[in-house]
Structure formats: C-alpha cells, structure tokens
Amino acid sequence: EAGVTQSPTHLIKTRGQQATLRCSPISGHTSVYWYQQALGLGLQFLLWYDEGEERNRGNFPPRFSGRQFPNYSSELNVNALELEDSALYLCASSFGGNGYTFGSGTRLTVV
Amino acid sequence: GENVEQHPSTLSVQEGDSAVIKCTYSDSASNYFPWYKQELGKGPQLIIDIRSNVGEKKDQRIAVTLNKTAKHFSLHITETQPEDSAVYFCAASNSNSGYALNFGKGTSLLVTP
C-alpha cells in the first residue's frame, strides 16, 4: 500500500512569490494535516482538512491556506513568501485519528 | 493551547544501554500521545502511541508510560542499537481538535557502538 506522497520534494522560490505544495493521503484516509518544520522551531501544526473542509488551523497568518479535493488529496498554498517560510513542510493523513502517517515532506527554500 | 515540553534535547548512550525520554503536557483534554522517530531527510515515523485510558504500552524494545495525574509520559528504549540513532519527538493531541498534534522540540539520540 502506498504511503503519504508529497510533491515536489524540493522547491525554491523568491521572496514575494507563491508556493503550492501537494499531498496524496493513504487510500481510505479522509483527514489531511499540514505541519511546518523549521530549524529551531520544531514541528508546528498548520492546517487540518477533513471531508473537504478546513476543520482547524494553527497559529499561522492567512497567507497560509489550502484545500482538500474530493479524492482527499490536498494542497497547501503559501502566498507572499517570506525568508522565514523556508522549512520542511510535512503532510500527514489519518482516518478518524487512526493510522496517522507522515509523508517525507517538501523542502521549501525562499531566497 | 497545548504546550508539550520534552527532555533531554540530546542524549548519548552506549550500545546495549537503555534510553529514556520524558515529556510533559499542559492540556488535561489531551488523550492521545504518539512518539515519532525522524531520520535525516525523512518524515517522522510513528514508533509507538498510547491513549489516555492506558498507563503503559510495550512493543518489543520500546515502551511508553503515561501518568495522567502528573501530565507526563515517557519513552523507554531498551538494548539500544546504533540504528536507533535519530531524533525522537513526543506529541499530544485530542479528538476535539481532530488529533492535530502538538509536538515537543525533539530529542537527538546517539547510540555509540
């Protein structure tokens, strides 16, 4: 069974641009979670999507947004990129909190 | 919101020794406590978890204990091996927030042969 897949693996953007990151959950999982792992700040919860709706968000500004598609895949959009947005962005999926599994992440570098 | 503290930040043990990592949490509503292992260049991998209705859980060389009254939980790794070297994260969550995980800052474990 395929795990959680994320694309791209690496992304380089210029300050002020927009970045789009994608995540495909494990088959049967309806919840997708996004986390930011920045150096020195650990893993921080960004967003939770379930059944196509945003259910919860962490302490991040509105320029971090996303959506979940009918097939439960998800994308994370980061607008007006800032240098401090450089981080590893991790996606996880679960079904009702069970089988919580992370992907390998997208490394975003803002220059 | 939930605050998870994790100690120590680094831990070095000799192969065959035991390693213990401790975490505390602040939100009494938290009811799910997973532990993750993260190797360089990879996403976190779940190694063991415990729910608040259980005090202890063991899986081969790995065990987790939970003290709900004191709001702390610990990871115990016995008979450590060099391949156990990685960063370990504890987390706490609850069903009300859809199991969004609040992570500790991580422990870098080094097992020397």
Task: Say if B102 is an interface residue toward chain A (CB within 8 Å).
Answer: yes
Beta-sheet strands, E only, within chain B: 4-7, 10-14, 19-25, 32-38, 45-51, 56-59, 62-67, 72-77, 86-92, 102-103, 107-112
Q: What is the pLDDT of residue A1?
A: 64
Cβ within 8 Å, pair B95-A97: yes
| Angle in degrees, CA A108, B1, B7, rounded to 5 | 75
Q: What is the pLDDT of residue B41?
A: 84
Distance (Å) from the alpha carbon of B34 to chain A's nearest alpha carbon? 9
Cβ within 8 Å, pair B32-A58: no
Stretches where chain A sits below pLDDT 70 are 1
Distance (Å) from the alpha carbon of A14 to chain B's nearest alpha carbon? 23
Q: What is the pLDDT of residue B37?
A: 97
Q: What is the pLDDT of residue B94?
A: 84
C-beta neighbour count of A62 within 10 angstroms: 7
Using one digit for the tens of pLDDT, what is the confidence trace for B16-59? 999 999 999 999 999 999 999 999 888 999 999 999 888 999 99
Cβ within 8 Å, pair B99-A31: yes
CA distances for A58 relative to A103, B100, B101, angstroms: 19, 9, 10
Using one digit for the tens of pLDDT, what is the confidence trace for A85-101? 999 999 999 988 777 89
As given in the structure block, the two tokens for residue A38 are 């920045």
Per cent of chain B over pLDDT 70 is 100
pLDDT at B67 over 80: yes
- What is the sign of the dihedral through the CA atoms of A100, B67, B102 and B61? negative
Cβ–Cβ < 8 Å for A87, A38: yes
Residue numbers in A near B1 (CB within 8 A): 59
Distance (Å) from the alpha carbon of A111 to chain B's nearest alpha carbon? 21
Peptide bond into B82 cis (omega under 30): no
Per cent of chain B over pLDDT 90 is 85
Average pLDDT, chain B: 94
